[in-house]
Structure 1
Amino acid sequence: MRNNTGPYFIGNNTCMFSCWAPEKQKVTLRIVSPKERDIPMEKDDMGYFHVNVADIPPGAEYYFMLEGEKELLPDPASNFQPHGVHGASAVVNHHTFPWEDAAWKSIPLEDIVLYELHIGTFTEEGTFDAVIPRLDDLISTGINAIEIMPVAQFSGERNWGYDGVFLYAPHVTYGGPEGLKRLVNACHQKGIAVYLDVVYNHVGPEGNVLHRYAPYFTSRYKIPWGDAMNMDDRWADGVRDYISNNPLYWFEYYHIDGLRVDAIHTLYDSSAVSIWELINQKVKSLRETLGRPLYLIAESDLNSPRVTQQPIIGGMGFDAQWLDDFHHALYTLADSRGKRRYEDYGSMHQLAKAYTDGFVLSGEFVKFRKRRFGRSSAGVGGNHFVAFTQNHDQVGNRVKGERLSLLVDFERLKLVAGALFTAPYIPLLFMGEEYAEEAPFLFFCDHQNPELINATREGRKKEFADFRDEGEPADPFDRNTFLQCKLNWLARRQGRHAIMLRWYSELISLRKEHPALRSYNKDNIQAEVIEPGMLVIHRKSKDKNKVMVFLNFAEHDTTYRVPAGNVLWKKLIDSRDARWNTENIASAFLPSEITETNFVTVPAICIAIYTGAQ
């Protein structure tokens, strides 16, 4: 990949360096190892400085010096920061890694079961390489795609990743560029697709030197992190290059299969060709060059179908978007305390709408926002949404970082999991969810600036001001806060955790085996609310495969009359069956077969799935 963004190692110990500084007249390249030297750079008409340097091996370290300044600055598009955010940048040769995935063509988006993980807490070692031995555990559960939380170089050793400073540099303590490549290579050899979480709406606060080079930020818009990235103000072209070339970098050099783009609603752009259209154009071209699919998934707070519509009709061109509404509608029914966090949710009819439409809030007045919000997504295929019951945000943005396993009982955990895998959306799990991990996922970081440390601590306290009765948030800078979040891999083989792991495996298998559960056609879904607390889902596929799903959230048994249709319903799974019971004692459970017009009594807090044949 040759473009103006960042260094390009050509080969034969020759590297082309590039630096965008349109308002500067002079930029000098300072090589600091293996042999120190200063090399002047030449400026082109677009404000880029270039120079080709010979006798420079991979691993050579360098800085840039801007005119009128004595300070040495790392490269904004650095491929590797071996000494952290304040140190020198290093040359990386992206042509010599021994890839073994030439036959890999990825997995269609419609067929994936996503698994979000954080490199630092997924294993005790907290590295890319340490993930590899755990891949077989994921495969045995039915997971075939991982979504890695952001790995762009951030300050310190530990961070969620959303404070990344060098967007092209995999974090050094995780294993740097070579470590990430080894992980992707291993995943592809085992049939696992790799998605990477990327952040384009802001840059982390510590070590950020972008403003020293050029107008990367604009005061035209304000976002939660300060000035917005400059997509449409003076000198925006270089910033747009910096952002739009980043997906290509991950796709080409790291063989990444897809990107999850963080909070797209905070990247403002009034250009005739938006940044999303520009990215879409470049990714489409690279797809054709590489001959494999490359996917883009958005996190959006817009509740707008425009996110996945094509740019030619004014859309943003994403393949899918996260569906927060599904989580909110489901969680508020599973946990009676959920209404406190999501005041606009909590009715069974909303969960029904989440199944049949997608967006629950689609133009209604929303108390949380104090305005009308959203637009209907009824006509948008389910394959354009990613649904979940937990993710890093939903867990980590609680005072105590509790997972759902500590918020609801075991029966409700099974119910919620079943609801996810019977929904017509791409399912996503948060690491450890599959075996009811109990370790928290707290917010943690490792900045060094005392003022920034204090500001972060105070910011977290203010964020949870309405939840003071739940206690004080953990100190994000205490290393123990981070260590508490490590997964307990031994738990998955023990007691109720092992039962939950088998439950998830069975749900994933059923979804793969039955076309009606695999279908993303929302037109073939009926959701019937049975008061006061049960939802009955009817789904069918093109080949007339049918399933009927009972979701009883009520604290009591609920009776339902099966509609006529000359169908014999056979039970596939029942959460009240003895094999899913922690005491291994059968409780009230549903019959193995049901015929039309039968009255069926569904036990309290239960999910059951039936398949139908005429």
Structure 2
Amino acid sequence: MSGIVTSPSAAGPLLAAPSTVDGMGAVIQPERRECTFRVWSLFADAVYVVGSFTTPPWDIRIALARDNPMPGDGHHYWSAHVGGVRDHDQYKFIIQRGSRAPIWKLDPYCRNATVSLDANGQSRPNNSIIDDPTFDWGSSPFHMPSWNELVIYEMHVGTFNNIEGRAGEFDEAVQKLDHLVELGVNAIEVMPAHDFETKTSMGYNPSLLFAIDEAYGEQQAVQKFVKAAHAKGIAVIFDVVYNHFGPGSGDCLWQFDGWSQNNRGGIYFYNDDRAICEWGENRPDFGRPEVRHFIRDNAMMWLHEYRADGLRFDSTVNIHRAMGKDNYDRGGIPEGWELMKWINNDKDAELPWNITIAEDLKHNEDITKETRHGGAGFNSQWDVSFYHALKDAVTRPADVGAIADALQRRYNGDAFRRVIYSESHDEVTIKSGVWLGRLPEKIDPGNADSWKAKKRSTLAAALTLTAPGIPMLFQGQELLEWGTWTDNPEISHANSMLDWSKKERFRGIFELYRRLVALRRNRDGNTRGLTGQHLNVFHVNRGAKVIAYHRWMNGGPGDDVIVVANFSEDSFDSYNVGLPCPGTWYLRFNSDWSGYDWTFSNKGYDTTANPPGNHGMKYQGNVGLGPYSAIILSQ
């Protein structure tokens, strides 16, 4: 093949023609022991690759030639096709600018890297590693569940299934997938797993965007995790971070080829005040087509090499707006908006059944509007207002009017354009020095296994799993986890690793969540309305703090669902509510059932709907309501 440089035995740089093989980074052909190396460097005068594949290793510089994979790019890509290269060989790029000292850099596209810890315990990548993405996925196809049937479980790999007190890995998370099958969820949202510099991390400080952090395993461990989840009927959604890179002194992107302005980040970053964001001065320069290609390629990697069923984009507002510290808005970033559209359009063209979710948190309907109508094209977005309404209602005297408003919010007229939750990683951790705490901890600090904490946190879960939207649980909710969650087990008085002993200790709470998930997914065939678009909040009693709503898809037996929720400490032996159809309405769920906890009072029963109507419904019936409880009725 033209342009191949074979592994030499004499020292000194070798010249090569540009590679004719597509792809960025190291594109390996292991059966032929050949590899294309390609890198973007805007201000380099010369670029070399060195590695373990030469004789002697690391002593031979192979000069890359100027390349032009994108029209109009000004020939700022460099590539060579090199022979004698094997899978798992190590390499680095050397960038030369004039007479300055050469800069040794990791490959921004590398799938793996050797790592060491510095004196402060921080993870520092040393060399890039060639890692062939080929994987045996088997012949059993996986079908993504319909978005209106999704129940998402947010997972942090490092703390989900800890082994002997250290951070967990993907291989170990596989061992707990049967727990998720038992719980009944059908999608996992994996918090960011790309390489980060700190010893532990939530993942929102990306260092090598294409590499899996060594604490969690390697590329094939992630592929095995996805394959195992698919075999159990569970979709996998990966959390990605494109609004900032780093921060970290060892970040390979920072001043990549030695050029920068205003002592900022160089070619991958804005070098003016648009660089300023909540996490430093490290916002990517979305105005450069090469940076947009880099990010788009990363999204496609997750979708194809890892067979992700969706992507959750962290803080999209920091992609399309120059949001600074203290939420200061310097204005829009049109190129960031175009980047999001590009990724969503490519996803829709290739994998339209997969889902993209935005964490924008600004109630911006354009985020989930179709790109052909000027929107960013995301399929759904996090709705933090639902969380705040629920949290307020169970931690202070409830305003059921605010709950009614939260139930009725939707984007673009679609109930499933939003993801709703009563806990997420953002709401249960340490933020800006504030210990936020998990919901039971917020309800009854220091006494999170109390009757009060159990009743109110499970009431919030019942609303989450019956309200219009895509419901999401944060890992450990079903175990009644409390305290403040963190990724770092060395922080005293905080809870990092899940306490799996709580599954038996609070088995009834787990069963409550399991039952709610089953009803939300219509596993018994009598609650289809919970997967439907329609909602009618027909009763709001601010005095008694009782709210009732009707969910349905098409209506009728097995479809119509009535939810009645009591946000007060009072119980009701006979509370009259309107009902849409006559006949018997069966109690499908009662969060006050004593089988979930022996301290619960066991109110709730089947009821019969008769005329005359009430609350705008044609019929009415009496129901039992325990304190801080929700019931679900259907025919």
TM bucket (normalised to shorter chain) is 0.7 to 0.9
Task: Spell out, residue by residue over 1:146-186, the C-alpha distance to the aligned partner (whole angstroms, 9 max, x if none).
Answer: 11110110113311110111110011121111211111111
1:231 and 1:275 in contact (8 A); partners too: no
Distance 1:110 1:565 in 2: 23
Aligned with 1:284 (options 338, 344, 348): 348
Distance change >3 Å, CA 400–CA 542, structure 1 → 2: same
- How is 1:536-555 mapped onto 2 (pairs within 5 angstroms)? 536-544=548-556, 545-555=559-569
Aligned with 2:633 (options 598, 610, 613): 610
Aligned with 2:217 (options 166, 169, 175): 175
Match of 2:65 in 1: 42
Task: Spell out, residue by residue over 1:516-564, the C-alpha distance to the aligned partner (whole angstroms, 9 max, x if none).
Answer: 4433414x43342112211111122214221211111112236743236
Match of 2:142 in 1: 104
The 3-state SS of whatever aligns with 1:441 is coil
- How is 1:176-575 mapped onto 2 (pairs within 5 angstroms)? 176-206=218-248, 207-213=250-256, 214-218=266-270, 219-221=272-274, 222-227=276-281, 229-233=283-287, 236-268=288-320, 269-271=333-335, 274-287=338-351, 293-336=353-396, 347-358=399-410, 377=411, 379-397=412-430, 399-408=434-443, 409-438=453-482, 440-442=484-486, 444=488, 479-481=490-492, 484-494=495-505, 497-513=506-522, 514-522=526-534, 524-532=535-543, 533-544=545-556, 545-557=559-571, 560-563=575-578, 565-568=580-583, 569-575=585-591
Q: Are 1:579 and 2:618 an aligned pair?
A: no
Code of the aligned partner of 1:271:
E
1:439 and 1:485 in contact (8 A); partners too: no
The 3-state SS of whatever aligns with 2:632 is strand
Distance change >3 Å, CA 481–CA 76, structure 1 → 2: farther
The 3-state SS of whatever aligns with 2:633 is strand
Distance change >3 Å, CA 6–CA 294, structure 1 → 2: farther
Q: Are 1:136 and 2:178 an aligned pair?
A: yes
Cα distance, 1:610 vs structure 2: 1.1
Cα distance, 1:252 vs structure 2: 1.0
The 3-state SS of whatever aligns with 1:88 is strand
1:14 and 1:55 in contact (8 A); partners too: yes
1:32 and 1:63 in contact (8 A); partners too: no
Task: Spell out, residue by residue over 1:349-376, the C-alpha distance to the aligned partner (whole angstroms, 9 max, x if none).
Answer: 2211211223xxxxxxxxxxxxxxxxxx
Which structure is larger by alpha-carbon Rg, 1 or 2?
2
Distance 1:99 1:481 in 2: 42
Cα distance, 1:25 vs structure 2: 2.2
Q: Is 38-47 or 312-321 further displaced after alignment?
A: 38-47
TM-score with structure 2 setting the length:
0.80
Cα distance, 1:592 vs structure 2: 2.1
Cα distance, 1:102 vs structure 2: 4.4
Distance change >3 Å, CA 25–CA 486, structure 1 → 2: same
1:381 and 1:520 in contact (8 A); partners too: no
Stretches of structure 2 lacking an aligned partner (at least 5 in a row) = 1-20, 116-122, 257-265, 321-332, 444-452, 611-619
2:441 and 2:483 in contact (8 A); partners too: no
Cα distance, 1:273 vs structure 2: 7.1
Distance 2:579 2:368 in 1: 38
Cα distance, 1:210 vs structure 2: 1.5
Distance 1:499 1:202 in 2: 42
Cα distance, 1:215 vs structure 2: 1.6
Distance 2:171 2:606 in 1: 46
Aligned with 2:132 (options 93, 101, 107): 93
Cα distance, 1:40 vs structure 2: 0.5
Return structure 1 stretches of 4+ with deviation > 6 angstroms. none
Count of equivalent residues? 539
TM-score with structure 1 setting the length:
0.83
Code of the aligned partner of 1:114:
I
Cα distance, 1:30 vs structure 2: 1.4
Code of the aligned partner of 2:576:
R
Distance 2:180 2:41 in 1: 45
2:65 and 2:79 in contact (8 A); partners too: yes
Cα distance, 1:483 vs structure 2: 8.4
2:153 and 2:188 in contact (8 A); partners too: yes
Distance 1:601 1:285 in 2: 50
Question: Once the two structures are aligned, what percentage of the paired residues are identical?
Answer: 25
Task: Spell out, residue by residue over 1:392-447, the C-alpha distance to the aligned partner (whole angstroms, 9 max, x if none).
Answer: 00001463352113233111122111111111111111111112123531264xxx
Q: Are 1:55 and 2:81 an aligned pair?
A: no
Match of 1:145 in 2: 187
Structure number with greater CO (CA < 8 Å, separation at least 6) is 1
Structure with the largest fraction of helix: 1
The 3-state SS of whatever aligns with 2:113 is coil
Stretches of structure 1 lacking an aligned partner (at least 5 in a row) = 338-345, 359-376, 445-477
Distance 1:411 1:273 in 2: 43
Cα distance, 1:31 vs structure 2: 1.2
Match of 2:35 in 1: 15
